[in-house]
Structure 1
Amino acid sequence: MTKEAYVALVTCFNDDETLNYEATRAQVRRQIDAGNNILAAGTNGDFSALTFEEKVKLTAEVVDEVKGRCKVIVNAGMPATFETVKLAKEFDKIGVDGIAVITPFFIACTQDGLERHYLTVADSVDTPIYLYDIPARTQNHIEPATARKLSAHPNIAGIKDSGGQQETLSEYLKVGNEVEGFGVYSGPDHLVHWALQNGAAGAISGLGNVLPHVLAKIISCFNAGDEEGAAAAQVTYGNFRKDLYALGFPPAMVKRALWVMDKSVGASRQPALLPDPAQDKQVEAVLKKYELI
């Protein structure tokens, strides 16, 4: 099976914190040129700071810009199943390739509660649903046994693992390798190549906003049977990740690095990280080290 690269696309903002759709479209084109697919309104896309209407319009703008040149998955996950279903139905109308559903946040869920949540969403739309696990941000974790149960639903197509733990990713991969049609996508940037070697359907990466061609190269080399090339690209990707994330919170650092490279992406909505001259100088040094500026 051909592996796929997705970038968890940043959402661009104007100085007054309104959405900059044209700048976002430019980032979509940049990823298409590199050979990557798009995940919109994810963690790196500031989804938690967007209104319902903005998520719908953002998705429509991304799909219109793509015009079938790559795949588009969009995140519909919200704390309540009710609003998640409402969003998913809107995305279903727009015509995306997949709908990711981050685990509910703020509301503590049992595994039975998560199972009901995902089954309800999957029953409500025709578009394939992808589970989205990032417990460090939501405090709700999809246990591998729950993922296995959910994999039996005909409209649940896979899972995005952003837990960062190789052990958990390995358990999800067991499900993916045993259940036909259930794809596991690696979120941790340092595990892309390892995940591909162990049966992942691909990667969904935030760091690809800054290094789109390196992410694409890991995937394309692997698909071509060039393990040496994939491994070399992974080393570059992993080293850049280590250097950049040493400076602060990962999604914020991705946006800051991209902002240093291209001011049109804007800062994120408050209370997210604001430009800081001292920190930006450190970001510049990392970007120069990797010849990105």
Structure 2
Amino acid sequence: MTPAKAFVALVTCFNDDETINFDATRAQVRRQVDAGNNIMCAGTNGDFTALTFDEKVALTEAVVDEVAGRAQVIVNAGMPATFETLKLAREFDRIGVDGIAVITPFFIACTQDGLVRHFSTVADGVETPVYLYDIPARTQNHIEPETAATLAGHGNIAGIKDSGGAQDTLEAYLAVGRAHPGFAVYSGPDHLVHWSLMNGAAGCISGLGNVMPGVLAAIIRAHNAGDHAEAERQQQIFGNFRKDLYGLGYPPALVKRALFLMDNSVGASRQPALLPDPAQDAQIAAILHRYELSA
């Protein structure tokens, strides 16, 4: 059986003037690779909607260079229009990544047929394996399991990242994976990492792993070793921290802020993201202290 893998949806670090801090971003890459995790860049936790086309290309080049073959790199190319998504995907294809994730189009309401055409066009245009990326709460477009099954038959669509958060949808995608060998399902919800692995997921793509890289890697390591009691113990820590932190508000913003309080080189998010709130920072700091994650 192929070992499960953990990818961290890496934060993009910014300077005070909101330009990308490449040195700090590279430091975060090293931190994750040293822990044993793989990298997904320019995703939801990486502020991809706030990055320009050229910045995404430069960011991916820097991440791939820093990883230097020590881990796998997936990068998100998804944009509202198929035209720009394909242009980005071809740049990532040129750079040489291990996978290209394509988030469902946002703002543009899509039919399921439109989604099939969108993903198929991108997958036709690159050599790098393409991964579907479903996060309907943010995009308002959802890849139905039947649509995933149709796309699983495409020779260059290698799997799906499910960030919907619903266990029944994840179960349906896992059924698609069982019916289509080679179609890998990656779990996005951090409270379902171990459950998804036990039910056939190829791995996970985690935002919370930015803050707890060691615990995420420990879940995967224990699972791959067949020590499911230890994997569950680590999952309990991960899940409890998730519940405490995400109880304060929007998850990607809280991940970035928690990481900032541990290491201020990561910077803030680009505006119009919420400004730092001293009262909330105090709550986050208390949670970090409770989990022995203080700077």
- Matches of 2:23 and 2:283, distance apart in 1: 28
The residue aligned with 1:7 is 8
Aligned with 2:175: secondary structure? helix
* 1:217 maps to 2:218: yes
* 1:62 maps to 2:48: no
Q: Percent identity?
A: 74
- Superposed CA RMSD: 0.4
Paired letter, 2:33: I
**Misfit runs of 4+, over 6 Å:** none
- Matches of 2:256 and 2:274, distance apart in 1: 9
1:91-102 to 2 correspondence within 5 Å? 91-102=92-103
The CA deviation at 1:285 is: 0.3
The residue aligned with 2:117 is 116
The CA deviation at 1:177 is: 1.5
Q: Please report the TM-score for the alignment, with normalisation by the length of structure 1.
A: 1.00
1:91-127: CA deviation from partner (whole Å, max 9, x where unpaired): 0000000000000000000000000000000000000
- Matches of 1:41 and 1:290, distance apart in 2: 28
1:212-259: CA deviation from partner (whole Å, max 9, x where unpaired): 010001101000000000000000000000000011100000000000
Paired letter, 1:167: D
* 1:35 maps to 2:36: yes
Aligned with 1:54: secondary structure? helix
Q: Which structure 1 segments of 5+ residues have no match?
A: none
- Matches of 1:241 and 1:12, distance apart in 2: 21
The CA deviation at 1:276 is: 1.3
The residue aligned with 1:77 is 78
Q: Please report the TM-score for the alignment, with normalisation by the length of structure 2.
A: 0.99
Aligned with 2:292: secondary structure? coil
1:265-293: CA deviation from partner (whole Å, max 9, x where unpaired): 00000011221111100000000000011
Paired letter, 2:224: N
The residue aligned with 1:126 is 127
Paired letter, 1:72: V
1:121-200 to 2 correspondence within 5 Å? 121-200=122-201
Paired letter, 1:17: E
- Matches of 1:291 and 1:68, distance apart in 2: 31
Q: Which structure 2 segments of 5+ residues have no match?
A: none
Paired letter, 2:206: S
- Matches of 1:255 and 1:176, distance apart in 2: 32
* 1:290 maps to 2:291: yes
Aligned with 2:133: secondary structure? strand
Aligned with 2:7: secondary structure? strand
* 1:238 maps to 2:254: no
Aligned with 1:59: secondary structure? helix
Paired letter, 1:288: H
Paired letter, 1:193: H
Aligned with 2:281: secondary structure? helix
Aligned with 2:161: secondary structure? strand
- Matches of 1:178 and 1:231, distance apart in 2: 27
* 1:268 maps to 2:290: no
Count of aligned positions = 293
